[in-house]
A = this chain, B = another copy of it.
Amino acid sequence: MRAEILSIGTEILLGHIVDTNAAYLAQQLAPLGLDLYFVSQVGDNSERVTATLRHAWERADVIITTGGLGPTEDDVTREAIADLLAEAPVVDIELEQELRAKFAAFGARTMPERNLKQAWLIPSATALANPVGTAPGWFVERNGHIIISMPGVPHEMKRMWTEQALPRLLQSSDSTLFTRILRIAGIGESSVEEQLGDLIHLTNPTVATYAKADAVDVRISAKAATVTTAEMLVNDIDARVRAIFGRAIFGTDTQTLASVVGDLLNTHAWQLGTMESCTGGLLASIITDEAGASNHMRGGIVSYATDLKEAMGVPQAIIDDAGVISNEVALAMAHASCQRLGSHVGLGITGVAGPDSQDGKPVGEVHIGIVSPLGEAAFAMQFRGDRAQIKLRAAMRALDLLRLHLMEH
């Protein structure tokens, strides 16, 4: 079965927004056994949207559109589909009531009449509910073709896809889908893919990798008649992936490196303090991105100026002996952060973010020190990339080393 995606909206063609919807949907299609051959982006122009739709109808079984479902004259997706199928749109009484109720709930005295087209349906279409916006989507079935039309606002689209469109699409093939994401830290995407070997070529379950800021995600998706069977298929591959990567897998699905470290600290009822030099506060910021961070994060020090390290408790003798970019200083920073911040666990980072080398050390050299009631350790690393990449990689590696430290003991 072939699929095609149409992203509709002049703002995409002006470069005002990047079309992330197409990439999201593309990721969703492979596990369904749908081959995506074309994605098109087209402006809010009736003629061009209809022409593109017609072209897609000729070469695809499933067409997914995003955008163009607003209330204005520029929003032409419904009109174009009606045109293509030569079906007349009529106001659906139930949708109209829901729409008027939404406007009343927003506190609007009356609904602008132009919004009424958001209650349209054609005979081949059923509505896809939009709990977080005004525009319902359409699920169109005709002559063995399916058209799914959803809003362009990413969070509205994703919710409609997950809760409404995907289940109906699966229903139309009497199947269900189960997905699990295994999140891997400390290994690059190409190496993950290489170690996965033939698993990457499976068709059911499918196995795919995605590089994220804090992890490489391995997504395992299985299609089956029941969710239990699909989950069993996923569990089988899950076990094989875990056998390959072991503890490099830090979590699943929505867990983040910071949330997993937070959970480990909470288990021990320990609080963390950080002292950062080259990462400049990024590590503390990532830790505090998680809701509930105040349970395990006491605080941090950004000791950017070298003499500030001493003022904050790093012995001058260690700096003089080992140099400021060293395991010894990273460890002393970890100790100092425990003392100054009153935390159980301390983490120190010192290194060279670039663009210039420092203290005779090359750009990308980073040292990480960890102190906890379980013991202490220091690590030397060499990262590649520009200043922002080195900061991010160093902060993520520090989090991952802390995770392994808290697990290993």
Contacts and interface: CB of A to CB of B under 8 A. Distances in A.
Interface of A: 12-20, 22-30, 36-43, 45, 48, 52, 55, 208-210, 271, 274, 276, 279-285, 287-289, 291, 293-294, 297-305, 308, 311, 341-342, 353-356, 387-388, 391
Given A281-B285, A281-B288, A281-B302, 17 more contacts: A12-B26, A14-B27, A14-B208, A16-B208, A18-B19, A38-B48, A40-B40, A279-B285, A281-B281, A281-B283, A284-B302, A285-B285, A285-B391, A288-B391, A291-B356, A297-B304, A299-B303
B285 A282 contact: yes
Contacts of A22: 15, 19, 41
9 contacts: A14-B36, A16-B208, A16-B210, A19-B23, A280-B297, A282-B285, A297-B305, A300-B301, A311-B342
Q: How many of these chains are in the complex?
A: 2
A388 B37 CA distance: 35
A274 B12 CA distance: 39
A293 to B, nearest CB: 7
Contacts of A282: 281-282, 285
B285 A294 contact: no
A25 B13 CA distance: 9
A33 B61 CA distance: 37
Contacts of A311: 341-342
A338 to B, nearest CB: 13
A320 to B, nearest CB: 19
A299 B293 contact: no
A4 B147 CA distance: 25
A289 B52 contact: no
A202 B208 CA distance: 46
Contact of A299 (B13, B25, B302): B302
Contact of A300 (B12, B302, B355, B391): B302
B27 A23 contact: no
A321 B37 CA distance: 64
A361 to B, nearest CB: 14
Contacts of A42: 37-39
A294 B304 contact: yes
A41 B43 contact: no
Contacts of A27: 14-16
A387 B291 contact: yes
A271 B305 contact: yes
A305 B301 contact: no
Contact of A355 (B291, B341, B354): B291
B298 A305 contact: yes
Contacts of A18: 18-20, 23
Contacts of A297: 280, 304-305
Nearest to A288: B280
A300 to B, nearest CB: 4
Contacts of A305: 271, 294, 297-299
Given A42-B37, A355-B291, A12 B23 contact: yes
Nearest to A26: B15
Contacts of A283: 281
